[in-house]
Amino acid sequence: MINRKIAPPVNSVSIPDFLMPQKYTLSNGANVWYYNAPVSDISRISVIFHAGTIYESQKLQAFFTYQLLKQGSIQKSSQQVAELLDFYGSYTEMEVMKDFCCFTIYNLNKYAQEILQMVAELIESPGFYETDFEVYRKKQKQRFLVNMEKVSGMARNQFPSLLFGKDHPYGGETNYTDYDAIQLNDIKQFYNDAIKEKPFTVLVSGAVNNHLVEVIDNTLGKIKISALLKEISSDVFNVSDYKPKKNYLPKKEALQNAILIGVPLFNRKHPDYFPLMVANTLLGGYFGSRLMSNIREDKGYTYGIGSALATYKNNGYFIISTEVGSDVCADALKEIYIEIEKLCSRKVPEKELNVVKSYMLGDLLRDMDGPFALSDRFKNMYINNLPDTYYPNFAEAIKNVNSDEILRVSQRYLTVENLTELVVGKK
């Protein structure tokens, strides 16, 4: 008979080698990074453009440009593009980020030629048709209004400005009028300045065979690349004038209030990033975290609460986010700050630290579940401009970090006096 009171022996998580993707260069000089895997004849191809929203001279410009770029080309109307994608069983995603944009295409390899030929046309000669623009604008306007009916939507829209400032490339909030202000010409201009003939990088994962390699070179490899994207000086990302704020936005009849608490920090290359990442996980980065254990599992104030270290190429921020019952908002805030105080004043017990370490190492393994996960991990390295040694170093840092180090970084970056707080809802 098994003794259920005793846990089965737990093996310390061993991390396999960090497999780097293979690389080749297309005729036009663009690099392709790929993971080949024994899956059915499918592949996921991402084209990474190096101009994100930080290149905008006007709000929404990058977002609209990329979203419209994928709709139609000079050769094919948006209807033809949609027809072709759907007919060949392809899916596309456009992820517009602060520093980059990632255009992802899911292909059946047998139709890769047709699909990638069309993708190349979209990138090289987008149509930017008036009707598509108006239809898209209408939809986005309505989505914005729906989002602004949510306490979480209102909070997320305003928070970057509180951290970075309204005019900072990582700050700024969107207003309804921005959707009226943007014009097709602004979109064409963004394309001409930041995308057209500029270098891009390709990530491929799935069944990568010779045929697919050839197809990619015949299509994406033929896109003209002739000019470099102008670098944005790193000075503009400076947030040395940051001052913590407390802000409250009312929303009538809210049943729950959204709470965001955070502080601007650094990018993943900073020497304190790894230990702070462990401190963050401990505080709010997983289900067993202190915030979840206290605010949800002990008090029942919320359905969920979490914290994260978000990073950009040039800096990053720490954020706690939750939605709590409006009637218990003050109590929830009090408990959140108690947890932060605790993190900054007492060493974490060994047992708890070990759970966090095991969880984080397991998470590194989950990032290797299948070719798409591997490729996502590499994308992360690529867009954060990280060295090949990043993940092995991360794993080592998790294993070796001690409670003194966690206390040190918590005190340095997460003290209550330094945090900005935003509450949206009913007081």
In the complex with other proteins, which residue's Cβ is closer, 160 or 206? 206
Interface residue with other proteins, options 16, 185, 231, 235 (CB under 8 A)? 16
CA 406 – CA 394 distance, rounded (Å) = 15
DSSP string, 68-110: HHTT-BSSS-HHHHHHHHHHTT-EEEEEE-SS-EEEEEEEEGG
Looking at 3-11, 222-230, 242-250, 410-418, which segment touches other proteins (CB under 8 A)? 3-11
324 binds other proteins (CB under 8 A): yes
Q: Which residues have CB under 8 Å from 265's CB, separation 6+?
A: 276, 309, 315, 316, 317, 318, 413
The answer to whether the beta carbons of residues 304 and 324 sit under 8 Å apart is no
Binding mask 27-66 for other proteins (x = CB under 8 A): ----------xxxx-x------------------------
Contact between 87 and other proteins by CB under 8 A: the answer reads yes
Nearest to other proteins of 298, 388 (CB atom): 298
Please report whether residue 302 would count as binding other proteins according to CB under 8 A.
yes
Q: How far apart are CA 363 and CA 306, in angstroms?
A: 16
Measured from the CB atom, the residue of 165 and 325 that comes closer to other proteins is 325
Backbone dihedral angles phi then psi of residue 131, each to the nearest 5 degrees: -60, -45
By CB under 8 A, tell whether 129 contacts other proteins.
no
Interface with other proteins in residues 331-390 (CB under 8 A): 354-356, 358-359, 361-363, 365-366, 368-373
Among 79, 234, 238, 400, binds other proteins (CB under 8 A): 79
By CB under 8 A, tell whether 249 contacts other proteins: no
Using CB under 8 A as the binding rule, whether residue 94 contacts other proteins is answered as no
Q: Tell me the closest approach of the beta carbon of residue 241 to other proteins, in angstroms.
A: 35
Three-point CA angle 390, 282, 409, nearest 5°: 65
The string of DSSP letters for 336-377 reads HHHHHHHHHHSPPPHHHHHHHHHHHHHHHHHTTSSHHHHHHH
Question: Binding segment for other proteins among 22-30, 80-88, 219-227, 229-237 (CB under 8 A)?
Answer: 80-88
CA distances from 339 to 137, 319, 336, 345, 347 (A): 43, 14, 5, 10, 13
Torsion angle, CA of 392/397/398/404, rounded to 10 degrees? Answer: 180
Distance, CA of 284 to CA of 307 (rounded, Å): 4
78 binds other proteins (CB under 8 A): yes
Residues 260-289, one symbol each (x = binds other proteins by CB under 8 A, - = not), give: --------------------------xxx-
Out of 22, 57, 74, 89, name the contact with other proteins by CB under 8 A.
Answer: 89
How many residues sit in the footprint of other proteins (CB under 8 A)?
79
Query: Smaller CB distance to other proteins: residue 53 or 375?
Result: 375
* Total number of residues shown for the chain: 427
Which one of 46, 67, 73, 90 is in contact with other proteins (CB under 8 A)? 90
Site for other proteins in 146-165 (CB under 8 A): 146, 148-151
Give me 338's structure tokens.
């108690």
- Identify residue 376 by its one-letter amino acid code: D
